[in-house]
Structure 1
Amino acid sequence: MRSLTIEPLSKEAFAPFGDVIETEGSDFFMINNGSTRRYHKLATVQTAQPEDQAIISIFSAESLEMPLTIRMLERHPLGSQAFIPLLGNPFLIVVAPVGDVPVSGSVRAFLSNGRQGINYHRGVWHHPVLTIEKRDDFLVVDRSGSGNNCDEYFFNEDELLLLNPHQ
């Protein structure tokens, strides 16, 4: 079983999978009579059909036991999905490139510093939300509309991956 190396989350490293949502190093302009910095268009919501809507939800996630065997990934073929941490806690991200099925050899893992959110582009394979804390909350921006927007892929036994944030 291949052990995933956890990389620090950066815009450059995560670019093949989506956007990193953060203010650090991002351009801004002043609004509200100079009292507010607006970090504009840090990510773009993607939807497949004109009648789709971008929606905002809150996910309250519980941690999984680590080390974790990565047995499955999911993707959303009809829209992007963004996770923005609400409590400022670091969280883990496991992704694979867009394709018919994820290839275990191309799976990567990242660690958000807790001030960074992410926006998975349409069709990017990813593990469901992985909090390090016992419980954590995320603002989620994704798509609502008709059609199946969640495909799951379960790896064969010889493709399983190990995620160990304590290495």
Structure 2
Amino acid sequence: MSPVAAAPAAAAVAPSTKVSGWTTNLCAEELTYESFRPYGAVVQGWEGTERSPKGIHVTVANQGTAFKFHRLAYLPQNAEITPERRAPATDARKGCSIGVKHLDRSSEVKVYLPQGRGVPPGVAGLSAGASYLVVVGGNTNNVKAFLATSAQGVSIASNVYHAVIPLNEPIDFAIVSAATTTVTQTDIKVDVPAHTAAPVPPRVPTAEVPEKPVPQGVAINPVPITEELWAPYGELIGARGSKRSPITNSYPADQDGACTSIGLFRATPKAGLHRGQLFDVSLLERHIYTSQAFIPLGKDNLVGMGEAPLTAGGTFLVVVADNGPDDRPDTSTLKSFIMESGMGLNYRAGVWHHPVLTIDACLDLACIETQVSTGEFGKTYEPDCELVEYDRPIGQINVPALCDVAL
């Protein structure tokens, strides 16, 4: 087995150059998977398998609590994830013209994932209503502009000129890249149409829940996730996380088909997981050959554009354990964290964890990992995911009572 790749250095930025002919007027159009194909891919969730574009492999995943949209974009295997908060160029909700003075061009695929806005109680979050402008082109003859929502990420193909410009409100991006970037000066004007944020459906109150399960011992109280607490298991991804997150894999050199890619889990709350209740932990999994990152996307949609907005709220309940001397989870080391949607996380390869658990509402989680199989054509590779199931609970999580929710 080859060693885990070291974290790459920060992407290099070459001096800017001036290219004649980059003077044009554009009108921003709706961002869709099909319209963006000449330039890369769109990373988003769809309302169901019938809504996802042709050619995307979709499965029911996560023990039946998620749709997984597989391999929406492929990545270089030495990429890393960098958080970056970008201020809006202007408030474009009533329509406006924006000047684009430079375009980036990256030697590898580069991905921009707008993160959610949920933060712990007492912490100021970003305001609602964000959108962003994506300007792309292979040359001066096919430059286009798209208006994107914070529920959509974009993967820019290698050597495509591009600019990603927030509108209306600040956006926290998780940027995935291993590229050397050059900067080209331009004189492009983009007309941005007036647009209105789609109303976000309120969180649906949880239906009456059954009686609390019988305690099996001392329950684990989840704690808000922090860089320091998460350091033994990986890295945090977001404006409050200062470190880059390496995407690593150690698949055997003779293992064909190990692909690093971005997929998306549209994850729903799990049966038996309720606020103010105990949740039984009866299974854990690990990915011994790959790191695995989960990044909640935003929920701002626009009237008449994109998919139906998800309901407000959504919190990620994280459960981890150390590896034991028998190469199985050490159940005495179970820990649990609360992660709001304004933060993502990266599991280091080999970390035992519970499959995705969301509370209160559905979340779209971009997933970055290296795997051999996505399940298509009956092809599987067991070490992609090693799952241990127990006959009885190995621990209980004392799920916190309801607190204020954000998008």
TM value normalised by structure 2: 0.35
Within the candidate set 380, 385, 403, 1:150 is matched to: 385
Please tell me whether residue 75 in structure 1 is matched to residue 286 in structure 2: yes
Q: In structure 2, what is the equivalent of residue 56 of structure 1?
A: 262
Amino acid at match of 2:244: L
Amino acid at match of 1:140: C
Within the candidate set 364, 367, 381, 1:137 is matched to: 364
Q: Secondary structure at the match of 1:3?
A: coil
Please tell me whether residue 161 in structure 1 is matched to residue 386 in structure 2: no
Amino acid at match of 2:265: F
Within the candidate set 238, 244, 251, 1:42 is matched to: 244
Inter-partner Cα distance in structure 2 for 1:56 and 1:98: 27
Inter-partner Cα distance in structure 2 for 1:48 and 1:59: 24
Inter-partner Cα distance in structure 1 for 2:287 and 2:349: 6
Give how far 1:25 is off.
Answer: 5.5
Closer/same/farther in 2, CA of residues 12 and 134 from structure 1, 3 Å limit: same
Amino acid at match of 2:390: F
1:50-78: CA deviation from partner (whole Å, max 9, x where unpaired): 56332100001110122321001000011
Q: Is the CA contact 1:22–1:42 (under 8 Å) kept in the aligned structure 2?
A: no
User: What's the RMSD between the two structures over aligned residues?
Assistant: 2.0
Inter-partner Cα distance in structure 2 for 1:63 and 1:82: 19
Inter-partner Cα distance in structure 1 for 2:400 and 2:240: 26
Q: Is the CA contact 1:60–1:138 (under 8 Å) kept in the aligned structure 2?
A: yes
Amino acid at match of 2:220: L
Q: Secondary structure at the match of 1:13?
A: helix
Amino acid at match of 1:45: I
Within the candidate set 332, 352, 357, 1:125 is matched to: 352
TM value normalised by structure 1: 0.81
Amino acid at match of 1:13: L
Closer/same/farther in 2, CA of residues 98 and 45 from structure 1, 3 Å limit: farther
Please tell me whether residue 18 in structure 1 is matched to residue 231 in structure 2: no
Runs of at least 5 residues in structure 2 that lack an aligned partner in the other structure: 1-215, 300-313, 374-380, 402-407
Please tell me whether residue 107 in structure 1 is matched to residue 334 in structure 2: yes
Please tell me whether residue 92 in structure 1 is matched to residue 317 in structure 2: yes
Q: In structure 2, what is the equivalent of residue 36 of structure 1?
A: none
Give how far 1:124 is off.
Answer: 0.3
Taking only the aligned residue pairs, the percentage that are identical comes to 32
Within the candidate set 323, 327, 343, 1:116 is matched to: 343
Inter-partner Cα distance in structure 1 for 2:235 and 2:388: 23
Inter-partner Cα distance in structure 2 for 1:143 and 1:25: 23
Closer/same/farther in 2, CA of residues 98 and 44 from structure 1, 3 Å limit: farther
Inter-partner Cα distance in structure 2 for 1:106 and 1:98: 9
1:96-116: CA deviation from partner (whole Å, max 9, x where unpaired): 124411111101000112211
Inter-partner Cα distance in structure 1 for 2:361 and 2:240: 27
Inter-partner Cα distance in structure 2 for 1:44 and 1:122: 11
> Is the deviation greater in 6-15 or in 89-98?
89-98
Give how far 1:156 is off.
Answer: 5.0
Larger radius of gyration: 2
Q: Is the CA contact 1:17–1:96 (under 8 Å) kept in the aligned structure 2?
A: no
Closer/same/farther in 2, CA of residues 145 and 156 from structure 1, 3 Å limit: same
Q: Considering Cα pairs closer than 8 Å and 6+ residues apart, tell me whether 1 or 2 has the greater RCO.
A: 1
Amino acid at match of 1:24: R
